Amino acid sequence: MAIQESGYDREPTQDDSDALEKSLPHEAPGKEETHPTPDQNDMPLSSRPSPDDDSDAESVGGQRNTMSSKRLMVAIPALSICLFVSFIDQTSVSTATPAIAGDLDTGTATSWIGTSFLIASTAFQLINGRLSDIFGRKNLLLVCLALMALGDLGCGFAQTPSQLFALRSVAGVGGGGINSLVMIIVSDITTLQNRGIYQGWLGAVIALANGVGPFLGGAIVEGATWRWVFWIIPIMTIPTAMVILFLLPLKHRSGDHIEKMKKIDYGGVVLNIASTLLILVPLSGGGVTYAWSSPFFIAATVIGFVLAVMFVLYEWKLVALPIMPLRLYKARYCWALYLQSFLTGLAYFGNFFYLPIYFQSILRYTPLVSGALILPVVITSSIASIACGQYMARIGSYMHCILAGFTLWTLGSGLTLLFNRKTGIGPLIAILIVEGAGIGLTLQPVLVGMYANSNGSDRAVITGLRNFIRTIGGAFGLVVSGVTLSNTLRTGLSGEAFATQELIAELTSSTYALDALDISQAQKERILDVYMQGLHYIFIFFTVCAGISLLLTFWVGNTSLKVAKSVDEESHDSENVSEQEIGEEAKQQFTRHTNAEDGNSSEGKTNV
């Protein structure tokens, strides 16, 4: 498929940034660095909204801060450390869960150790993007780091399941915010041309943390107490926050704090959080914590969906600065990219949840070995993510990476159907390598595609929306997978005297209590056979999600990531020009293009 011409006006290239670094006085790392390029240069001219259409974005814009290569060498590692610590917090708990469940006696609520974090993270994803527009990226990032550290510090001292779940929710708010804000900041400080390189790097960092986390959690549990799995996060967060505070040169949002507070979409915040919680909490506990037919489940779910509809209507008609502008859904090709993000969440989160369960519960590996078995996915995902970032920067296409990625992901996910109770290490690693390569080629290019087909001033809310959609998908994926496993166990073990409803509910949440059950070895073998059958059904579900995402690739477009330059611009780049000259030229070109479009069309302005 040919790369479609983007029609970009001039966005600063890396050469421009390097020239500015030489021609402008050097500032202290903590001071403000500016590059007055209009945000609209991040998008195709044909997709730019009229001033009326994005007035809300313009009113909080101005955080574009394209950095030179020298500055990026400081900023990118600092942001990568933030992302790494955040994902370590998410993934290290998986292999520590058996020890936590046994010590705190969580019983059928064991899954809430991870679910509480995921739900809290999801509920605040949309909000983080707009709050960073209003209060500044750096300030909000430091707040999120503090929330994650305090939440995990409290988790280490938790004495009851309720305390642990509540404090994991606090950590989830911070962790989810870090994930979005790091990606938003990277989009602010890079150009569209080289953004794929750095987004690919972030994808590699995420993959690395996804592999190191379970391994680290297993090692800590075997060598110390599970409480250190949580206490280690504040220890890692404090130096990370210091690096961000003193070495990350970002713009500061000036202005009166009262005026900033007035810009917050309070109605949208309340409706979004309430609807998300009322939908995800009962769904996540359905069939285990709550009966599907219970009054609480029915009432909470219905009210949640009603509030979700009210949220959409409120954002559409009643608020000046929405946390989710509906124009984001009108950007060309983005509908397919959003749907891919949802399907990715369904398969991605579930995969990393059920693979360790397969390793420990079916193959009977220790937590440490189970963590190590994730490494084939991690290593190949990291390599693929970095490679696709380089490819996008050189070729200027995100679609090719997405197509190759979902092809490999579908193939690898399909091959997991070969897993059984006696699968050897060789086939296991080979299949995980294929799947890992597919994951690495898709996660960040989907986000880059959204950036390429939308307004540059919407980068923050787009990132928040993508992460919200993906984590919502992850929550639904875990629900569907849990229901599938529960029904399989109930059907497969029907007629067995030992298979009580309480046992099935506990096995659906985890198999950690299997060894302690007072049943014969033959009965345990029967349970494991049925459990393996349930995992096969779950792997089929993940494969279908990856396959549908592959088909959607034909509707994601192939908008070029490269900036078309005129002859004058090429000669202009070869000089050490001043920051003001670059800014004035960009503004003049943007005005000329806008006037030309207005003269050629009497329509095209859409008011939202």
Say which range, 38-47, 72-81, 230-239, has the weakest mean pLDDT. Answer: 38-47
- How many CB atoms are located within 10 Å of the residue 607 CB? 9
Distance CA 456, CA 253 (A): 18
Helix or strand or coil: residue 4?
Answer: strand
Pick the most confident of 95-104, 365-374, 379-388, 568-577: 379-388
The band of 540, judged by pLDDT with boundaries at 50, 70 and 90, is very high
Q: Which is nearest to 441 in space by CA: 595, 289, 550?
A: 550
Helices (H), 358-458: 367-372, 375-395, 399-415, 425-440, 443-452
Q: Retrieve residue 193's tokens.
A: 């041309």
The CA–CA distances, whole Å, from 448 to 199, 334, 445, 498, 559 equal: 8, 11, 5, 52, 10
Q: What pLDDT does residue 510 have?
A: 61
CATH 1.20.1250.20 region(s) of the chain?
A: 69-252+321-495+527-555
Buried b / exposed e over 200-224, threshold 16 CB at 10 Å, is bbbbbbbbbbbbbbbbbbbbbbeee
Distance CA 513, CA 553 (A): 43
Q: What pLDDT does residue 213 have?
A: 83
388 or 499, which is more confident?
Answer: 388
Residue 566 CA to its chain's centroid (Å): 37
Q: What pLDDT does residue 61 have?
A: 52
Q: Quick one: which H or E segment has residue 122?
A: helix 112-123
Q: Quick one: which H or E segment has residue 509?
A: helix 501-509
Report the amino acid identity of residue 402. Answer: I
Distance CA 345, CA 464 (A): 14
The CA–CA distances, whole Å, from 497 to 506, 523, 530, 573 equal: 16, 10, 15, 78
Q: Is the pLDDT of residue 31 over 60?
A: no
Q: Retrieve residue 47's tokens.
A: 């997709």
Phi, psi of 271 (to 5 degrees): -65, -40
The yes or no reply on domain 69-252+321-495+527-555 and CATH 1.20.1250.20 is yes
Q: Quick one: which H or E segment has residue 553?
A: none
Q: Is the pLDDT of residue 600 over 70?
A: no
Q: Quick one: which H or E segment has residue 365?
A: none
Q: Retrieve residue 304's tokens.
A: 């949640």
Q: Is the pLDDT of residue 572 over 80?
A: no
The band of 255, judged by pLDDT with boundaries at 50, 70 and 90, is low
Say which range, 166-170, 321-325, 422-426, 532-536, has the weakest mean pLDDT. Answer: 321-325
Label residue 98 left, alpha or beta by phi (over 0 means left) and psi (-120 to 50 means alpha). alpha
307 or 318, which is more confident?
Answer: 307
What's the half-sphere exposure (Cβ side, CA atoms, 13 Å) at 253? 20
Share of the chain above pLDDT 90, in %: 19
Whether 508 and 489 have beta carbons less than 8 Å apart is answered as yes
Share of the chain above pLDDT 70, in %: 77
Pick the most confident of 226-240, 285-299, 356-370, 515-529: 226-240
The band of 525, judged by pLDDT with boundaries at 50, 70 and 90, is confident
Tell me which residue has tokens 């799995």: 229
Say which range, 51-65, 301-315, 573-587, has the weakest mean pLDDT. Answer: 573-587
Tell me which residue has tokens 């875990």: 478
Q: Which is nearest to 196 in space by CA: 3, 444, 401, 381?
A: 444
Q: Is the pLDDT of residue 552 over 50?
A: yes
Q: Is the pLDDT of residue 371 over 70?
A: yes
**Angle at which helices 459-492 and 161-189 cross, to 10°:** 140
Distance CA 93, CA 118 (A): 12
What's the half-sphere exposure (Cβ side, CA atoms, 13 Å) at 558? 12
pLDDT for 447-500, tens place per residue?
888 888 877 777 778 888 888 898 888 888 888 887 888 788 888 877 777 777
Question: What is the DSSP secondary-structure string of 257-279?
Answer: HHHHHHHS-HHHHHHHHHHHHHH
Say which range, 36-40, 292-296, 332-336, has the weakest mean pLDDT. Answer: 36-40
Residue 601 CA to its chain's centroid (Å): 39
Most distant CA pair in the chain, distance: 83
* Predicted TM-score of the model (pTM): 0.73
Pick the most confident of 123-137, 261-275, 408-422, 584-598: 408-422
Mean pLDDT across the stretch 572-582?
35
